[in-house]
Amino acid sequence: MRQIEAAVARMSPNALLVVASAVWGLTYKPDTSTLRRSSGVELCDWLLDQGAGVRIHDPIVRELAPHWSGRIAKFSDPLEAAAGVDALVIATGWPRYRSIAPGQLAERSRELLVLDANRFVPQLGVQLEQLSYVAVGMSDPDA
């Protein structure tokens, strides 16, 4: 969660007021439906508090937290959730996400920051003009 907040903090002041974000994975780990101890849920709450728009995908979660009613859009397809957003966070490493090619994301976004703290989908780190990939342990190209 701290890595994600740090990456977002590098954006311009008040950037989240206009950022549309997608979060892939809400459960605390794959193959479970529980949201307890979920960094994805904490992240969604934080993004909402910052004024960001949030779109989510999780292959198992059916119902969202009541306090998200009308504030978060849930999608059954991860690519639909990521369509047109500015930032995509991979919060849970569901195997389904590994089958998504970088070009599929690039087709749906003009410019997309992919935050994959745990390197669940390293294939998204390929060099495409529309995608910027950030993961733990990567050097900062702007440093």
Q: What is the pLDDT of residues 123-139, one digit of tens each?
A: 887 777 878 888 876 65
H or E, element range at 102: helix 102-106
- Give the CATH number for residue 113: 3.40.50.720
Instruction: Tell which residue, 111, 59, 61, has the closest CA to residue 84.
Output: 111
Q: Which domain holds residue 121?
A: 2-134
pLDDT at 2 over 70: no
* pLDDT tens digits, one per residue of 58-90: 999 988 888 999 999 999 999 999 999 999 999
Residue-wise pLDDT for 16-39, tens only, equals 555 889 999 999 889 888 888 888
Residue 81 domain flag: yes
DSSP E strand boundaries for the chain = 20-24, 53-57, 72-74, 87-90, 112-115, 131-134
Measured in degrees and rounded to the nearest 5, phi and psi for residue 120 equal -70, -35
Share of the chain above pLDDT 90, in %: 35
Question: pLDDT category, 8, cuts 50, 70, 90?
Answer: low
User: What is the average pLDDT score of the chain?
Assistant: 83
Query: Quick check: is 139 in a domain?
Result: no
pTM score of the predicted model: 0.82
The answer to the question of residue 120 being in a domain is yes
In a domain, 140, yes or no: no
pLDDT digits (tens, 9 = 90+) for 93-102: 999 999 999 8
DSSP class of 39: H
Provide the domain count of the chain: 1
